[in-house]
Amino acid sequence: MTTGVLLQITQTGLALLLAPLLMGWVNICRAWLQGRSAPPLLQPYYTLQKLFHKDAVLAHDATRLFRFAPYLIFACMVLAAGIVPTLANDLPFSPAADVIALVGLFALARVFQALAAMDIGTAFGSLGARREMLVSFLAEPALLMVFFTASFISQSTELPHIVDRLAHQEFALYPSLAFAAVAFWMVSTAENARIPVDNPSTHLELTMIHEAMILEYSARHLALIEWAVALKLFTYSALGIALFLPWGIAAAGDLNALPLALLALVLKLALGGAALALLETINAKMRLFRAPEFLGTAFLLAVLGMLVHFLLEV
Amino acid sequence: MQTNIGGIELTLTPQGASPVWRFSLESARLPVFARAIRDEGGQLLALWGSDDRHLGRGYGLHALFLSSQGLIWAHCPLPADAPAYPTLDTIFPQAGRMQRATFDLLGIHAEGAVDDRKWLRHAAWREDDYPLRKDASPLPPHPSPLSQSDTYPFIRVAGEGVHEIPVGPIHAGVIEPGHFRFSVIGDKVLKLEERLGYTHKGIEKRFEGMDLPTGARLAGRVSGDSHTAYAWAYCMAVEAALGVEVPQRALWLRALFLEMERVANHLGDLGYLGNDVALSFGFAQFWRLKEEWLRLAQRLFGHRYLYDRIVPGGVTTDLADAPALLALAQRLRAEAGELKTVYDEHAGVQDRFAHTGRVEPAMAARLGLIGLAGRASSQAWDLRVQFPCAPYDRLEVNMATDRRGDVLARVEVRFAEVFEALRLITEIVRRMPAGPLRADVPQAEELREGLGYVEGWRGPVLVAVRIGADGRLDRVHPHDPSRQNWPALEVGILGNIVPDFPLINKSFNLSYSGQDL
């Protein structure tokens, strides 16, 4: 039990530490692919440090909700990062929540983000909140479908069981997961405010979705939100790894596999980050009203994955 | 020269060898004349006023028309007491904001105007004070705080579910200030109203009493991205007023600078348009090309944006390293061509560009859309083609037009103009005659007036100059094509969605400073 708790703390701490690094790595890859010189790998840490040292500026109309939201969003993301197995399987946190609860956790963070954005009453806050809700209410069902496809294989919605079934039992290829993987990528771009659904580096307030909601935040509040954004990207990457590339995650109680698991994780994240940067470089941002089509396609693919499972894998 | 436009007999006075015709008429006949120009297919290019009381007259209203015969500069003398003239905005809608600005600065009233709200005055001076009058009281160092009467009555859209999004004048990025009031349902734009004038800095007042070379420096700074166009137009006006014969090599060098400015700005815009649809690859690549271009300008002529190379009478810098310029021009042609293929074949980019922000040709003609944006909506006017000044009369510029009027059309016209400008640069460098760079500018001994017209990268840049008997500037009016193109943006956005506005706005890329003055 003690080992489990220690492992759980290590894994969550690792997520906290690695998340900005992943962000920095994606930014470097993007710069390389665009043919410009890259920012330092540690730039996200510098930004966080800078933001934590600044004095927070709050709008006059801001209520306690506005100040409270960053802490809640950050806590949600830390919890999510603790639930998804990255290094070792079947940690003490894992039974606390299955994938459905995980989707709920993301939703909770999003609701408070949107509420906080509307709290100060600026045009851009409510504009961003409205668009975020449009995108997310289409993305969530598709995400759930992806999880269901994976859980049909392992007969469980708990992530440790899914990982265990895919990585630690006899090797099998599941065509249904190919459909689910594409759907998962589409949903993740929407959920993480990445191209082609949103543009994380834009300064055009009228085109923003996620950025419009956090325009009024500064200093430690902004730092927490930025960190939460990095954590969310990390958690989604870890989810993708757990569902579609779980090989290397240490089995429950297998301490000797940990160094290899760490190495595998870093390699997979580096590859995943590079792939994300590549996809962001070759894609343009789509018109906002194309997002429903895009996410509808994701939902359709996830459903197809499920059908394929019943046709080929049962 | 005697001519007849729409049944009106005119005695036109030519300005030197250029296609600028001047005449005077009483203000009551101005609408009749404007309507005749309109029926003939012409446009109103600029409208401004002047305080002529120190010359023993009243006020003056100046209107510049574009017609098949050339640029017609009409001057209406107005009385010193309660100066007014019949409005032109029912004939040429683009006159509206120019008339409002003229009233704010000079107190010359347009009778019967559709819209007579203030335009440039942001409570920075007293309501009964008109800063461009010769006897205006000096402005207080700090403008008074906005009083209640200075709230601007925006046009409201009513109905269920309609709400307003106010944007600016301070934006999330570092850009010029302007306020945009969107009336929307969801993300669909029902109406956009612009409120500009935040960069009004009294340039026209500053010109008064300035000597001619300093005036060239100021003119070039009216809108920083069009330095060459303004400096050349100003110098052309001064030279026309004083009858200066500019050496041939200087004229060819000015054309070289103008085309270099066009290339630099178009490359930058094409990069920004990629950035606005989140294709940062295009942004990075076009700006790399622009940067190389600017660095070469720095090395060859001593300034990245070619500032202050054009002076009254000629130019200050000669072309030293022609092969380097030709080589880079050739390379840019190839690389911009490759990037055009990337834009052309990128489904996501084309989806964002096509059918976005359309200004139909008929609407463009009605609103007087001009310059690059006009050519993308079938308004085939290019001063370098129709009324070429030296050396364009010997260069045969190919005009780029498009009839679609959307963002894609404006992108296509930009690409075509980049390639054409690079071709012109090659031709200019090869055919440039040898000779001196500067002619002497004589001292004016009586009142002189002149007009300069240059097709800048954005459209026709016009500078009207009046030099006093003391040889100093008495009145200078610089006109930016943004003045008539800003209202067309309000039309182009209709029916589009709010998140597409930055892209549409960038495809016009209009000047704030040039229209606020």
| Tokens 């997961």 -> residue | A177
pLDDT at B142 over 60: no
pLDDT bucket at A313, cuts 50 / 70 / 90: confident
> What are the pLDDT digits (tens) for A284-297?
888 888 899 999 99
pLDDT for position A197: 86
Closest chain A C-alpha to B352 CA, distance in angstroms: 6
pLDDT at B455: 94
Q: Which residues of A touch B505 (CB under 8 A)?
A: none
Number of residues in chain A: 314
- H-helix segments, B6-150: 30-39, 95-106
Share of chain B above pLDDT 70, in %: 97
Predicted local confidence at residue B140, as pLDDT = 63
Mean of pLDDT values over B396-425: 94
| Cβ separation A286–B352 shorter than 8 A | yes
pLDDT band at A272 (very low <50, low <70, confident <90, very high): very high
3 state DSSP class of A8:
helix
B390 — contact with chain A (CB < 8 Å)?
no
Contact B499 A207 (CB under 8 A): yes
Residues of A numbered 107-136 whose beta carbons fall under 8 angstroms of chain B's beta carbons: which are they?
123, 127, 130-131
Q: Give mean pLDDT, residues A255-278.
A: 88
From residue B317, alpha-carbon distances to A28, B215, B298, B314, B321 in Å are: 42, 19, 12, 9, 12
Q: Which two tokens stand for residue A155?
A: 């007969």
pLDDT (mean) for B210-230 = 94
Alpha carbons B165 and A81: distance in angstroms, whole number? 37
**pLDDT value at position B6?**
66
Give residue A91's pLDDT. 75
Q: pLDDT (tens digit, 9 = 90+) per residue, B225-279?
A: 999 999 999 999 999 999 899 999 999 999 999 999 999 999 999 999 999 898 8
φ, ψ of residue B29 to 5 degrees: the values are -90, -5
Query: What per-residue confidence (pLDDT) applies to A202?
Result: 81
E-state strands within B28-69: 43-51, 59-67
At B173 the pLDDT is 78
- Predicted confidence at residue B208, as pLDDT, reads 92
Give me the mean pLDDT over the A22-35 stretch. 92
CA distance B402 to B237: 31
Which among A43-52, A251-260, B67-76 has the top mean pLDDT? A43-52
**pLDDT tens profile B291-325:** 999 999 999 999 999 999 999 999 999 998 899 99
3-class SS shares of chain B: helix, strand, coil, % to 5:
40, 20, 40
- Encoding tokens for residue B148? 């209640």
* A37 CB within 8 Å of a chain B CB: no
Give me chain B's average pLDDT, please: 90
Q: Which residue has the higher pLDDT, B141 or B434?
A: B434
pLDDT at residue A11, as a whole number: 86
Per-residue confidence (pLDDT) for residue A170, from 0 to 100? 74
Find residues 332-371 of chain B whose CB sits inside 8 Å of chain A. 346, 348-349, 351-352
Q: What is the mean pLDDT of chain A?
A: 88
Res A150: pLDDT:
86
Is the confidence at residue A52, as pLDDT, over 70?
yes
- The more confident residue out of A254 and A200 is A200
Per-residue pLDDT tens digits for B192-209: 999 999 999 889 999 999
Q: In sequence order, what are the residues at sequence separation of 6 or more whose Cβ sits closer than 8 angstroms to the Cβ of residue B492? A: B357, B358, B359, B405, B504, B508
Distance between CA atoms of B282 and B272, rounded to whole angstroms?
Answer: 8
User: pLDDT digits over B490-500, tens only?
Assistant: 999 998 999 99
Looking at residue A5, its pLDDT comes to: 83
Residue that wins the pLDDT comparison between A94 and B505: B505
- Alpha carbons B365 and B386: distance in angstroms, whole number: 17
Question: Which amino acid, residue A113?
Answer: Q
pTM over 0.95: no
Distance between CA atoms of residues B504 and B508, nearest Å: 7
B chain contacts of residue A278, beta-carbon cutoff 8 Å: none
Inform me whether the pLDDT recorded for B146 exceeds 60.
Answer: no
Average pLDDT estimate for A136-160: 88
All domains of chain B in start order, with CATH: 2-111 (3.30.460.80), 203-516 (1.10.645.10)
Residue with tokens 């026309």: B240
pLDDT for B141 equals 56
pLDDT tens column, B110-131: 999 888 888 888 877 777 888 8
The span from the first CA to the last CA of chain A, in angstroms, equals 36
Q: Which long-range contacts (CB under 8 A, 24 or more apart) does A268-272 make?
A: A268/A241, A269/A18, A269/A22, A269/A25, A269/A234, A269/A237, A269/A241, A270/A25, A272/A237, A272/A240, A272/A241
> Closest by alpha carbon to B37, among B61, B3, B13?
B3
Question: Is the C-alpha dihedral spanning A272, A274, A276, A279 positive or negative?
Answer: negative
For B433, phi and psi rounded to 5 degrees? -75, 155
As for how many domains chain A has, the answer is: 1
Q: What's the ipTM? A: 0.86
Range of the domain at A20: 2-313
Interface of A with B in 69-108 (CB under 8 A): none
Verify whether the Cβ–Cβ distance A123 to B167 is below 8 Å. yes
Is a pLDDT exceeding 80 seen at residue B188? yes
Nearest CA-CA partner of A254 in A143, A132, A60, A90: A90
